[in-house]
Amino acid sequence: MSTDSFDYSTIGKTSSYIAKQQAEAEAAKSKSLDQEDFLKLLTTQLTNQDPSEPVDNNQMVTTMAQLSVVDNLNTITSGMNEINDSITSSTALTASSLVGRSVLVDSQQAFFDGSNQVTAKIDAGDGTSNISIDILDSHGTLVGSYSANAGSGSMDFTWDGQDSEGNAYPAGMYTIQASGTQNGNSVSLPVSTYATVSSVTLGNTLGETTLSLIGQDDVTLNRVKEFSL
């Protein structure tokens, strides 16, 4: 059995992304002084000190104390970097598992693949009556209209993508619009639609991690409202 280990921190990262991180780390390192550098400076100072005015003992104690502080800070920084790498790797594993799954996003637009039904959620608030739901194609043409007497909270909605005669509409983007009556006033209702994840691009944070959705624009991971199988 092979004993080679796998670097999970590279999951979801492109070669250019990894190279950029390495370059930034090297640049930061070249601009900093570690404990070894301070010891070299101190040794050089002691070697070249004026015998008539030797280095003060208190000054040396202060310098050594500063070296200890710097060393502890370097240790803390290294530990934080390891924690950050661990979190990034965990995020990468989680994000990669989303490929092929359905996610709920805050958008009225949904992609119909020509066969599978379109699903959405409609927020009816504390209570809405005379609910009307319209389906429009990419040209803004009404292709379906549905109604409900009343509802409240999050309402599930499914469209089979067919006309009144059972013929499937062509694959493409469709818009779901919902409206109703609340407290005697006609209002538009918020609509969220489901989409399938095709790929994931990992970023430094959740806000930078991007999901590519089939038939739709990319969205950042923190914009996803719900995950489903």
DSSP the chain: -------GGGTT--HHHHHHHHHHHHHHHHT---HHHHHHHHHHHHHT--TTSPPPHHHHHHHHHHHHHHHHHHHHHHHHHHHHHHHHHHHHHHHHTTTT-EEEES-SEEEE-SSSPEEEEEE-TT-EEEEEEEEE-TTS-EEEEEEEEEE-SEEEEEE-SB-TTSPBPPSEEEEEEEEEEETTEEEEE-EEEEEEEEEEE--SSTTT-EEEETTS--EEGGGEEEEE-
Please count the other Cβ atoms lying within 10 Å of the Cβ belonging to residue 122: 23
**Banded pLDDT at 142 (limits 50, 70, 90):** very high
pLDDT at 224: 85
> What are the extents of the domains in the chain?
8-96, 102-228
Residue 173: pLDDT over 90: yes
pLDDT at 2: 45
Reported pTM: 0.58
pLDDT at 1: 46
**Banded pLDDT at 6 (limits 50, 70, 90):** very low
Computed over every residue of the chain, the mean pLDDT equals 77
Residue 139: pLDDT over 80: yes
pLDDT at 79: 58
pLDDT at 63: 62
**Banded pLDDT at 119 (limits 50, 70, 90):** very high
> Which has more confidence, 128 or 226?
128
**Fold classification of 102-228 (topology level):** Immunoglobulin-like (2.60.40)
> Which has more confidence, 164 or 30?
164
pLDDT tens readout for residues 185-201:
999 999 999 999 988 88
pLDDT at 54: 61
pLDDT at 68: 62
